[in-house]
Structure 1
């Protein structure tokens, strides 16, 4: 997890957040009734899918689209990955990256300044790297190691063995110079020039803030400004300002929460979904829909967020995917009786996981 994400405190859900609310949010995320949607549409609806784990973000996309397959996701060129909300890597539609960077780029650069200094990435080195990266990457995609080697040839030298290269990539991405495009062979991240992938236009700061609140509510509502602040990493004052900009269109929900007209309604349940580690649904609010007794089974500490079995919006267990020469197996650890009587739904979800991956999948 990022330096910013670690500062966000998420807690288990309480009685003040009833089943009805989580079922509504589950539907708003397109997790209850999945559309047939391409990857860019999935990313656009979610504002961004958390993407520091490439395997996990692909499974997040599967959970929100009934038609995606892994080969299609791997070669998709209408999305990019860059460091945005909470300083964390997100997968976003190319048309969204500029306005999101206008909100989070400078903030993330400031937040990472001390760590860059500790790694020997002084302002002069970073500025020189930004100057030569367009020449290094023009018309092609390179791995991080290849970029470091090309920078060295241009007399911009950083330690290739430590964390400096990763922090330099994040700095250049937050400076709107590079982003991550399609992965290279072996799922190695490939870096490209942002100007070659994303439109250059971006709205004003106030317009971007209002757009963030509107898009967040479309994908995450019902919610409150405190939820927007927790998900985005923005100060609460900025989140409230964003909320006010959308105020005329807000519909009051119970418990002081708001939503936008026309958002998805809960379906007749139960609906079960296997969500991967670091799924955006579980990072989108101040609280998580998990009983306090099981909270540490999902977030054990150290920034780790385990894959979860979610039923009608609330966490009922966790799961683990294991690969072998024979295919994929899925093991499930229920939380109490939350998954009792849902064996058929689990089997169907595991089968869909296999469909997405293109290999046999079974529940063990």
Structure 2
């Protein structure tokens, strides 16, 4: 490691891969919550992808380990969950370490909301939204409810207005209260429980005391820079789907307090956490970057690492992104940059992993790819078969 204020893309990528457990997997026995914390949350809109995101970073971890961390079971009193499935960055479903909820559930509600998504006669007032969130927390305390059951409890605790079918959604209409479902998750009033058959359930996460919002926001910014820096306020805003002006103000506060410092990243100004200016030198950098890796849908690394045009160079920008948005395709990384896409199709105890490289792989890289596919199978508790060819499945919505 060498200290530098003039940082290259390769050096930044090598450090990010190491801190993300992508250069070297976490050792056997590392708690899955530690892996999720290093990633700053695991995108979990597709649970199997979240299981892969964690399992591909930690030796010996399978999907069962991830689910046990979410919903532990015991004959009498189960322990508190180590992971919580709830609404995280960008309002999307994430797996978050339970120990980090005091930060997340103070920082996320403090982000200014964007333009209203619904007309005035559909929207909840600020007071109504607060009533609904409180009703959700009360209804879910110590139980698991489907969305319909939860809706009945919310209406009973607030009033008929909460159940008005006014929200257009998937060729039907949803009740008014559901427009703050993600807010309830971000506030710590709601998390996902285990499915009841094919039906999603919700519960209340373990009790905690949120940090003061400003403290939480600054802590989140510093942790983002540790995991994915160097980065600009615009990068931070994009990752959170936050207003750029808000992110710029957080950086200014941190800089004034001496908590972050400016560096040159690929010749342009960017920021790192104060004192965190050591980056791998050439031999170590090349070792950390070298190799083939498979990252699933919406993996935290491809969503958060910026600038995106350097992570997805050339043909990868057109093939592995969806209109410039990362995560909609599972990604093949070769030597630290996107170099293809892949897809897995499971049938019973077997899964077929089709990988579409954008350039010819060497014999060594094909062997490494076979090892990656074997690891995908191990995480998903299935026998995996590798097929190198065209991926015909389109981008995930």
**TM-score, with structure 1 as normaliser:** 0.81
2:218 aligned with 1:210: yes
C-alpha deviations, 1:175-214, integer Å up to 9, x for none? Answer: x2523244323475432224xx142141451x32331232
CA gap of 1:170–1:73, structure 2 versus 1, over 3 A, is same
Q: Relative to 1, partners in 2 of residues 1:114 and 1:224: Cα closer, same or farther, differing over 3 Å?
A: closer
Q: Following TM superposition, by how much is the alpha carbon of 1:71 offset from its aligned partner in structure 2, in angstroms?
A: 1.0
* Cα RMSD, aligned residues only: 3.1
Alignment of 1:15-54 (within 5 A): 18-36=9-27, 37-54=30-47
Contact 2:19 2:38 in 1 (8 A): no
Equivalent residue number for residue 317 of structure 1: 340
CA contact (8 A) 2:110 2:213 kept: no
* Contiguous gaps of at least 5 residues in structure 2: 1-6, 70-80, 388-397
For residue 105 of structure 1, give the secondary structure of its aligned residue in structure 2.
coil
Structure with more of its chain in helix, by fraction:
1
SS in 1 for 2:360: coil
- Does 1:200 pair with 2:204? no
Q: Secondary structure in 1 aligned to 2:149?
A: helix
Greater Rg over alpha carbons, structure: 2
Residues 1:228 and 2:232 aligned together = no
TM-score by length of 2: 0.75
Distance 1:41 1:325, change over 3 A: same
Is the contact made by 2:105 and 2:210 (CA closer than 8 Å) also made in structure 1?
A: no
Q: Residues 48-87 of structure 1 correspond to what in structure 2 (within 5 A)?
A: 48-76=41-69, 77-87=81-91
**What CA distance in whole angstroms lies between the structure 2 residues aligned with 1:129 and 1:166?**
9
Flag structure 1 segments of 5+ consecutive residues without an equivalent: 1-15
Mark the CA change 1:86 to 1:97 in structure 2 (over 3 Å): closer, same or farther.
same
Shift of 1:29: 1.6
Q: Is residue 171 from structure 1 mapped to residue 179 from structure 2 by the alignment?
A: no
2:374 alignment partner, one of 347, 351, 355: 351
Q: How does 1:283-294 map to 2 (within 5 A)?
A: 283-288=303-308, 289-294=311-316
Report how many aligned residue pairs link the two structures. Answer: 344
Structure-1 separation of matches of 2:265 and 2:124: 49
- Taking a change above 3 Å as real, the CA distance of residues 116 and 219 of structure 1, as seen in their structure-2 partners, is farther
Distance 1:93 1:112, change over 3 A: farther
What secondary structure is seen at the aligned counterpart in 2 of 1:318? strand
Is 2:51–2:379's contact at 8 Å kept on the other side of the alignment?
A: no
